[in-house]
Amino acid sequence: MGELFTGRGCGKFIVFGEHAVVYGRPALAASLPQGAVVQLRRAASPQWHAESPAGPLAPNDQVHRAVTALLDHFGLSLDNLAIDVGFDIPIGAGLGSSAALAVALARGAADLCGLTGDERQGRIESAVAASEAVFHGKASGIDQQAAYGGGFFRFQRRADGPLVEAIAAPPHRWYIAPVAPSASTADMVAGVADRRRESPTEFASYFDAIAEVTDAGQTALGRGDWQRLGQLMDRNQALLQSIGVSTPVLDKACEAARSAGALGAKLTGAGGGGCIVALADAETPMADALADFGPVYAFDLP
Ligand code: PMV
């Protein structure tokens, strides 16, 4: 049996700016302490085992292609590795599970290959980008950034690489609830691109308005001005409705969270299904409020 190597990657949620970030506007996201842990070792024959909170996960064609593309960057192949993956976030729900897996696997693979320093980091980044390219169409790279860890951050796409700024925030409770089956991020991004082509001026003003919300949200988050932050989340949700990525179920879940006392709520990620994020204190009965929609995860961040 080969030596066992372990890598970790973090999940994430987007606080402000999804979709607009694809078009160069800033976004604000949080790395979660939870995500994916990968253990791998060289083996005589291929072995794959993956477990999510919902049970074992068979490697579908997309996972197979993404993992193959990633391992290729290390000169490794699925044929002679034993890989064990554990997720402690829901899969395919807009919480960055694919990027968390990619970063965890790339970190483990880099150690297995004995890489160090800048070469290690460079190889990890290109391998993760190759894997994420399989899962997402025109991806901004925000999921990858979050998967490396590090709390709240502002992210802006630039031609010469992303601009990333860490944001210090006072602690608060955040709730994430997967309320509907997820849509494909690539399809949702493509849908926005189509509608933008038809109404470029309108979409530019939606994206600008989302950028203003993100800037104001960064200030509110840094100050711990939770009332204001909640209002801005609601405003971002209204703008996400305008660009056509919310759904009646996502809207209803946001309303249910607000009625139960949340300061603000919005979809998080690509939309079309998936998760909402709500800001509320620990006493707010969020699990009861969203019981009709599914499970609710509470995170105290940072
Ligand atoms: O991967 P998701 O579902 O969390 O969505 C990522 C956010 C988008 O802005 C919709 C796409 C992107 O690449 O930034």
21 lines ligand 1 (CB under 6 A): yes
The arithmetic mean of pLDDT across residues 238-247, rounded, is 98
pLDDT, mean of residues 187-206: 97
Q: What's the mean pLDDT in 272-292?
A: 97
pLDDT at 63: 92
Phi/psi of residue 37, nearest 5 degrees: -120, 130
DSSP 58-113: ---HHHHHHHHHHHHTTT--GGGEEEEEEESS-TTSSS-HHHHHHHHHHHHHHHHT
Residue 22 Cα: closest atom of ligand 1: 14
- Ligand 1: atom nearest CA of 268 is 4
Q: Which of 55-64, 122-131, 159-168 has the lowest mean pLDDT?
A: 55-64
- In angstroms, the CA 23 to CA 196 distance is 11
Q: What is the pTM of this model?
A: 0.93
Structure confidence by residue, pLDDT tens digits, 210-229: 999 999 999 999 999 999 99
Evaluate: CB of 140 within 6 angstroms of ligand 1: yes
Q: In the chain, what percentage of residues exceed pLDDT 70?
A: 99
Strand partners, 180: 274
pLDDT digits (tens, 9 = 90+) for 30-82: 999 999 999 999 999 999 999 998 899 888 899 999 999 999 999 999 999 99
The total of other beta-carbon atoms located within 10 Å of residue 117's CB is 7
Work out the mean pLDDT of the chain and round it to a whole number. Answer: 95
User: Which bin fits 160, alpha (ψ -120 to 50), beta or left (φ > 0)?
Assistant: alpha
Q: Say if residue 137's pLDDT is above 90.
A: no
Share of the chain above pLDDT 90, in %: 90
Name beta bridge partners: 278.
175, 265
Of 245, 295, 256, 225, the residue nearest 14 (C-alpha): 245
